[in-house]
Structure 1
């Protein structure tokens, strides 16, 4: 808002001998005694014109500059209000979209996941060009191998595997077909790349338990048995 200066120098500068006319405009300002709105500014301007010395009128250049300055301030305030409103709307929309992820799975970098009874585990491996002899294993929290995953379904006719992401899925059973108890399980895979055994990068699909919105608008996903990650850490939504 534009500040009102009540000093004698201010009134003398604009040739206003009768302060009452201008004070009437200032009294209509908001609860802040130093704030002036558009209506008050126009009333003060009219008081200035009515009370100026006819023999020494207000300089047009300075007068126009006052109007331009006030208009600029009002425009900036209006723009700030619009931008803040837009930011608030964006944050609300983002929070609403993120809350819809609760109960769903997201894919993140990693190799461990909390398995619920009868649920199993899923994710993907990233295979470089020319990958061969791909092997993948599921291990329990002690590091014991409980199941070898069959990846031969992705093998091409020349024995190589396609470059890129190759999905995997485990049904929660051990090698003998017995269901394993709920808990944290890990997946690992390796392949022969140009004859060199190489560990493969993996992603796992994890349940979203809840969503947290920070004071700065940051969205954090709280994942079952994994911890918290930002939206930017999510590779895929399922």
Structure 2
């Protein structure tokens, strides 16, 4: 990977996304199946042999069997509701973390200040709509501007080496990035630049999935705006 400093060009990198599928309600399935069951029973009655009709006890057995299944589904829903109430309305950790277990080891994209520990920081710097030029601004934990770099229009991902124009390494600490977008040399937008950081840990806290990044930063999983496989 080519690192950049105050006088070096940025490096473009790639990203990937993830998808998820919605779940289906058990109650809706039972309701649909019950309607189908009634239709089948009606057809069965209409087409039975009048000389050898189906015994009424058979109908009772079929109804009892289906009713038992329906009651089991309703009981499960009731137990789930009671579990939630007894836990103070907070979901169990296993439920909270469902879908997040595969995040460990991935790179999260967040619009947050990050800890610089001497390793290059991968930044996604998007131009504002209608902008024809932009600059990446680097600030320290106090919000003081340290550096700014001209961005190429075809570059959306860049890597900040942590070195200034003289080649000296900036001290370790928290840094933030923002993109200033221009149209005909006039500033039209300033917005946070998102950064990539490895996810080291996922846990549940007060019904919310929490993340710990490789730089030690902790945040809600809801603050993640993108994921990708680690870039080698």
Q: TM-score range by the shorter chain?
A: 0.5 to 0.7
Q: Is the 8 A contact 1:138 1:187 kept in 2?
A: yes
Q: Which runs of structure 2 are paired with 1:155-234 in the superposition (5 Å)?
A: 161-162=153-154, 166-193=156-183, 196-197=186-187, 198-213=189-204, 219-223=209-213, 224-230=215-221, 233-234=224-225
Q: What residue in structure 2 maps to residue 128 of structure 1? A: 128
Q: Does the Cα contact within 8 Å between 2:122 and 2:157 map onto a contact in 1?
A: yes
Higher helix proportion = 1
Larger Rg: 1
CA-to-aligned-CA distance 1:115-169 (integer Å, 9 cap, x gap): 11x2132211221343234222212112333332342xx2xxxxxx35xx71121
Normalising by structure 1, report the TM-score.
0.52
Q: What TM-score, normalized to structure 2?
A: 0.53
Q: Show CA shifts across 1:26-66 (max 9, x none).
A: xxxxxxxxxxxxxxxxxxxxxxxxxxxxxxxxxx64x4453
Question: What's the CA shift for 1:105?
Answer: 2.7
Structure-2 change in CA distance of 1:213 and 1:123 (3 Å): same
Displacement of 1:176 after TM fit? 1.6
Q: 2:109 aligns with which of 107, 110, 113?
A: 107
Relative distance call for 1:141 and 1:220 in structure 2 (3 A) is closer
Q: Which structure features the higher share of strand residues?
A: 1
Shift of 1:96: 3.8
- Displacement, 1:211? 0.5
Say which is worse superposed, 121-130 or 176-185, in terms of deviation: 121-130
Answer yes or no: is the 8 Å Cα contact 2:127–2:179 preserved in 1: no
Are residues 144 and 175 of structure 1, via their aligned partners in 2, closer, same or farther at CA, if it must alter by over 3 Å?
farther
RMSD: 3.7
In structure 2, the gaps of 5 or more residues are 1-54, 78-93
* Distance 1:72-1:91 versus aligned 2 partners, 3 A rule: farther
1:1-238 equivalences under 5 Å are: 61=56, 63-76=57-70, 94-98=99-103, 100-101=104-105, 104-110=106-112, 112-116=113-117, 118-151=118-151, 154=152, 161-162=153-154, 166-193=156-183, 196-197=186-187, 198-213=189-204, 219-223=209-213, 224-230=215-221, 233-237=224-228, 238=230
